[in-house]
Amino acid sequence: MSVIEVQGLVKRLSKTLVIDDISFKVEDGEFFVLLGPSGSGKTTILRLISGLLIPDAGRVLINGQDVTQADPSTRNVGMVFQDFALYPHLNVYDNIGYGLDLHGMGRDEISMRVLAAAEKLELRPLLKRSVEGLSGGEKRRVALAHVLVKNADIYLFDEPLVNLDPRLRFEARQEMMMVHHIKQKATIYVTQQQTEAFSIAQRVAVIIQGKLLQVGTREELFYQPVNVSVARFVGSPSINILTAHIQHNDMRYTLYGDGLYFTLPAAWRAILEQYPYPTVQVGFRPDTIVPEWAFHTLDRGTCFFTYAQVIYIEPRAEQSVVALRIGVGTEIVALLNNRRDIRLARGQVINIAIPSEHLYLFDSSTELLLDKGRQC
């Protein structure tokens, strides 16, 4: 069994609250990702689990055993650091096998493990070389090999791919996942990159400003964000969030504001009847905005139509990020598919539609999601 559980972790560094009541559980064999911006406390959580830091409150359990106060050497953790934490005075072979003898392992067993790990990560030709002369990618593989030779109870990865270009990141992810598939132990990986997190994780925990906001799959985080902060963080470009007034007309509700006028489907009625505030925050993702040349794909009865002025265009390979102004001064962002026959320009006015089924409503006071139970 390999299980990691943290319960109510709190950590202050220099009187600054870095981790605020964090709790989660990583199951046996699960690849779990901590996702959040720089400075959100992700690395601190790993250091608390590994024993490099002691929490001010809360507990760390590994395989059901409370190790909160235990020395790091007794926790049997395999960890890859952002800077790889290699020993510059040792060659590749000794870096990979470092520490195995401390567990009473014989020389022949150590050699067998080091050579097997080096073979899997294509390091055999480098075993006698000093790590100081290695490239960043080679050092990463040495750090992974060092983890691979251990029979650790759990594995922790602290942004080991942060400084690699896209091609090398892809290769490194494959190597890292190979290690995970071999070990099949509870694993936590830290990253700021959403694409990376969603490509490798079974579940993702969103950490912002030391608080765990939501744990879920990619689909749960993207389609059912628990609050505005998660909705804004997950997805690129970020979700559009606007404030709208609520108007009750007959049996339906209408949302209106500068450039906005949505008549909501009847499915929203039950929740808005209980909603106590006159305004609500409306969210819709940039890729759900439909330009006039694609109106033929729409069910017109479920859309809000308006005109918008182009104020900025950022071309990408297959799509463009387009900043639009609606109403008097409301700015939104759309993600539009590129077409050879369509050329947008700054100042141009186009018609757009926003399907109501893609709307998110958030409480104007708590910023929590108002979920009408729709299927996403």
First to last CA, the chain: 35
pLDDT reading at 159 higher than 70: yes
Is 90 exceeded by the pLDDT of residue 319?
Answer: yes
Q: Is the confidence at residue 85, as pLDDT, over 90? A: no
CATH of the structural domain 240-370, one choice from 3.40.50.300, 3.90.1150.10, 2.40.50.140, 2.70.98.20: 2.40.50.140
Model confidence, pTM: 0.88
In whole angstroms, what is the distance from residue 319 CA to residue 335 CA?
7
User: What's the mean pLDDT when you consider all of the chain?
Assistant: 91
pLDDT at position 131 over 90: no
Per-position DSSP letters for 303-346, written without gaps between them? EEEEEEEEEEEEE-SSEEEEEEEETTTEEEEEEEE--TT----T
Nearest alpha-carbon partner for 275 in 363, 359, 159, 367: 363
| Cβ-proximal residues to 305 (8 Å cutoff; 6+ apart), any chain | 351, 352, 353
Digit-coded pLDDT (tens) for 225-282: 999 999 999 999 999 999 999 998 877 899 999 999 988 988 898 899 999 999 999 9
pLDDT (tens digit per residue) in 67-78: 999 999 889 998
Going by the DSSP 8-state scheme, the letter that residue 281 receives in this structure is: E
What is the CATH code of the structural domain delimited by 4-233? 3.40.50.300
Q: Which range is least confidently modeled, 34-48, 156-170, 288-302, 315-329?
A: 156-170
Domain boundaries, the chain: 4-233, 240-370
**DSSP state for residue 129 in the 8-state scheme:** S
